[in-house]
Amino acid sequence: MQVTEPTRISPGGPLEVSPTSAAERTHAPWSFREESRRLFDDCAPTYPAMDPFWGDASELISELEHMDAVPLAGNEMRMLDLGCGVGIHLIELARWALQHLPQLISVRALGLDFSPRMIERARARVANGKLTKQIRLLQRDILKWESPANEEYDTILCLNNTLGNLVGDAVGGSHRLREETLRKVRDTLAPTGVLMLSVFSRDYLETEVLPRSGYTKDRHIDPQWSSPENGDLVLWRHCSDGSDHCCFSHWFSPSELRSELRTAGLDIARLTCIGSRLLCIAKANHCGGG
């Protein structure tokens, strides 16, 4: 009997599994951004239970409790969540702030995500939590997001490696997309505002993920389009529409994170490593950069 390698179904047909050079990795017969959107859409019904690397809102709240003062310009907390998923962090943070900040009168929060099903689930959770007056949710691509000139936020969230998930039509150039996004974050932060960012740790990738065979139960690392030596993974998942879809995931070293933030005019005020994640609080550098 002839034994053949299992063939993965992908939007562009079966994949070659031999590793390729960086130049060859730049073009695929599908858009990685669109693939990512479909994969996250498919994850929405079970998010966040299906990924052991993702963290919950308790780690953010504990960071806020460590801060001398929660950044508030007045008695309203203005929050923006980029890639808000099913809205867990916005909801928990809004509740926490309303209960724990005595000077706070109101919360005004906006969550953006390009997955229609993530936004749909987030809307249902916000309605269940009776927070529809405080939290607005929009289906938007972060890469196309422009904040109105007079809009600013006290807290901007970008959590569970949403920054590392940003990808264009091609898999290359994600560094530039992160930089553009971080510059927009900097320009949208209130003068006393903070960015709360959690990304995946390169050290964890190298010591805990790569040595194991496979990534998680339901996703596997693509050897052709990934570049683990640069912290870039392309992950495939068999989705409920019967096809395989992939997403991109960049894993960061602390120095790389610091440097990407610095280039965008943001400085790290606090950096904590929690298992697979680097959790960072950053502020706009008003002395230059950007």
Ligand X SMILES: C[S@@+](CC[C@H](N)C(=O)[O-])C[C@H]1O[C@@H](n2cnc3c(N)ncnc32)[C@H](O)[C@@H]1O
Binding site residues, ligand X, CB under 6 A: 36, 40, 48, 83-85, 88-89, 112-115, 118, 141-143, 159-162, 165-166
15 or 200: whose CB is closer to ligand X? 200
CA distance 290 to 283: 12
72 or 197: whose CB is closer to ligand X? 197
Residue 18 φ/ψ, nearest 5 degrees = -75, 140
State the nearest-atom distance from the C-beta of 117 to ligand X, in Å: 9
Are 10 and 244 in contact by the 8 Å Cβ rule? The answer is yes
Q: Which tokens is 286 given?
A: 């008003």
57 or 98: whose CB is closer to ligand X? 57
Dihedral (Cα; 177, 181, 183, 189), 10-degree rounding: -170
Residue with tokens 């790389």: 256
State the nearest-atom distance from the C-beta of 10 to ligand X, in Å: 19
State the nearest-atom distance from the C-beta of 2 to ligand X, in Å: 40
73 or 183: whose CB is closer to ligand X? 183
90 or 284: whose CB is closer to ligand X? 90
State the nearest-atom distance from the C-beta of 48 to ligand X, in Å: 6
State the nearest-atom distance from the C-beta of 122 to ligand X, in Å: 9
State the nearest-atom distance from the C-beta of 191 to ligand X, in Å: 25
Mapped onto helix, strand or coil, the DSSP state of residue 121 is helix
Q: Which tokens is 74 given?
A: 């007045």
Closest CA to 142 of 155, 152, 156, 130: 156
Closest CA to 138 of 118, 164, 159, 166: 118
Q: Which tokens is 15 given?
A: 């994949």
Residue 115 CA from chain centroid, whole number: 13
State the nearest-atom distance from the C-beta of 33 to ligand X, in Å: 6
CA distance 2 to 158: 49
85 or 231: whose CB is closer to ligand X? 85
139 or 230: whose CB is closer to ligand X? 139
Strand order in the sheet with 266-274: 135-139, 106-113, 76-82, 153-158, 189-200, 277-284, 266-274
